[in-house]
Amino acid sequence: METEHAVFTKEMRRDGYLILVPNMLDFHFSLLSPVFRLNGYNLEVLTNDGPNVVAEGLKYVHNDTCVPALLVIGQFMDALHSGKYDLDHVALMITQTGGGCRASNYIFLLRKALKKAGLSNIPVISLNMSGLERGGGFRLTLRLVRHVFAGAIYGDMIMLLSNQTRPYETEKGRTDQLIRAWREKLVEQFKRDRGLSRKEISANLEKMAGDFAAIPQKGPKKTRVGIVGEIYVKYSPLGNNHLEDFLKGQDCEYMVPGVIHFLQFKIDNRIEDIRLYGGNPLKKVFCEAFLKFVSRFEDSMLAVLRAHPEFVAPSSYAHTKELVKGVIGYGSKMGEGWLLTAEMLELAELGYPNIICTQPFGCLPNHINGKGMIRKLSAIHPGINIVPIDYDPSATKVNQENRIRLMLAVAADAQREQTEGDAK
């Protein structure tokens, strides 16, 4: 494959080139467009969905490639072929982790797809913190990083509070109205460079918790379900066939671990690498300081949630990491690595023992750390109820949902037996 490719330049930024990014987390990513515009970039999060996205992906990506790559590239190509965009003034942005996962190579597969479609003139921006593909007109400035980081914290909080409120709201739609109101409020704060310090973030998180707690609720506790897995199919409605929408209709309450733990996991991996294999001690000191910085914000979130016992607070990253000690090694870090196993243990401990493990078909790290750990986790938590779901263009939505329905039926029987036992 040729290494030459179109580069996003400073002139393109100045001329207002529209930067397209694939969607993954609804609320988190809804803050991206205004945040990037505040930092001088014209950005749009794609929302196109449907069978044509899959068809475009299969047209330009080999079907042996994991489904996140196929869907992300399919969403890009479907958008470019829609006639909606000026193809001479558009750019694409994709993350590049630099790790052992195939996700590091999505950018090259995307450029190959653009070349095949005769669109090699469209630049692809690499969003990474590993020093990859330096140069060009895109820069991760401190201001932009602060905006994105704050958005991740707010997104995690909104996701957690809304998932625990929506199933019990007496007025249907009230939770979603509050989500939209908070998005507008945060965007207005970002415009004034507010809501970014730890003090301001803590104040906003406290107000969020109070607002969601004030929504009138009713009914007994529903079946509790946890969602774990590969980061794209865990979060993206396109990647998991709108799993969360399906669960909303199944009379259950679900919890999805936040992205802050994943960020801490990625930082911590650098520390573990040096501890296990040796390396630059200065890099270790920097990563430890960075992890401590992120953990302070996590502490602020947990402090707010502990003051609101009506909500189930997630575990701290340090505790989640401790849960997996002796279960699987910290050297297992490709993809979601040991964090995937740890999140299942965390969910079981928090009272969400019915777990959907989402994984792209053929994703080796997830099959090892997810599906491969079910027997071990069942020995640790005898009541744990895990269903691994493979996501692939050849896997039917009906089959996936039927397997989840079976898991929910087992969960309902277990809950009924526990209720009857408590009554005796």
Residue 147: both structure tokens together: 């905006």
In angstroms, the CA 224 to CA 165 distance is: 13
Question: Are 23 and 113 in a shared domain?
Answer: yes
Q: Is residue 65 part of a domain?
A: yes
Tell me: do 389 and 243 sit in the same domain. Answer: yes
Alpha-carbon distance 293 to 60, whole Å? 41
Domain tally, the chain:
2
**Which long-range contacts link 44-50 to residues 24+ away (Cβ below 8 Å)?**
44/18, 44/19, 44/20, 45/21, 46/20, 46/21, 46/22, 46/75, 46/76, 46/79, 47/23, 48/75, 48/78, 48/79, 48/82, 49/237, 49/238
Same domain, yes or no, for 119 and 245? no
- Confidence (pLDDT) at 165: 97
The reply to whether 117 and 240 lie within a common domain is no
Q: Is residue 209 part of a domain?
A: no
| Same domain (yes/no): 136, 226 | no
Domain assignment present for residue 87? The answer is yes
Asked if residue 420 and residue 318 are part of one domain, the reply reads: yes
pLDDT in tens, the chain (424 residues): 445 789 999 999 999 999 999 999 999 999 999 999 999 999 999 999 999 999 999 999 887 788 888 999 999 999 999 999 999 999 999 987 666 666 667 888 999 999 999 999 999 998 876 666 766 789 889 999 999 999 999 999 999 999 999 999 999 999 999 999 999 999 999 999 999 999 999 999 999 999 999 999 998 889 999 999 999 999 999 999 999 999 999 989 999 999 999 999 999 999 999 999 998 999 999 999 999 999 999 999 999 999 999 999 999 999 999 999 999 999 998 888 999 999 999 999 999 999 999 998 878 888 889 999 999 999 999 989 999 999 988 888 999 999 999 999 999 888 777 766 666 6
Task: Report yes or no on 247 lying in a domain.
Answer: yes
Q: Which domain holds residue 58?
A: 10-140
| Residue-level pLDDT at 1 | 43
SS3 114: helix
399 in the same domain as 250: yes
The edge-to-edge listing of strands for the beta sheet with 385-391 is 252-255, 223-229, 354-360, 385-391
Together in a domain, 116 and 245 = no
Q: Is residue 126 part of a domain?
A: yes
In a domain, 32, yes or no: yes
Across the strands, what pairs with 42?
18
The verdict on 239 and 126 lying in the same domain is: no
User: What is residue 90's predicted lDDT score, i.e. its pLDDT?
Assistant: 97
Domain boundary residue among 106, 140, 174?
140
Q: Please, what is the end-to-end C-alpha distance for the chain in angstroms?
A: 69
User: Last residue of a domain, which of 122, 140, 158?
Assistant: 140
Show the tokens assigned to 88.
């001479």
CATH code for the domain in which residue 234 is found: 3.40.50
Rounded Cα distance between 124 and 126, Å, is 7
Question: 132 and 241 share a domain?
Answer: no
Please state the pTM of the whole predicted model.
Answer: 0.92
Is 342 inside a domain boundary? yes
Domain boundary among 105, 140, 175: 140
Backbone angles phi, psi at 419, to 5 degrees: -65, -45
| Structural domain contains residue 294 | no
Q: Strand, helix or coil at 171? A: coil
The first and second tokens of residue 224, run together, are: 């509790």
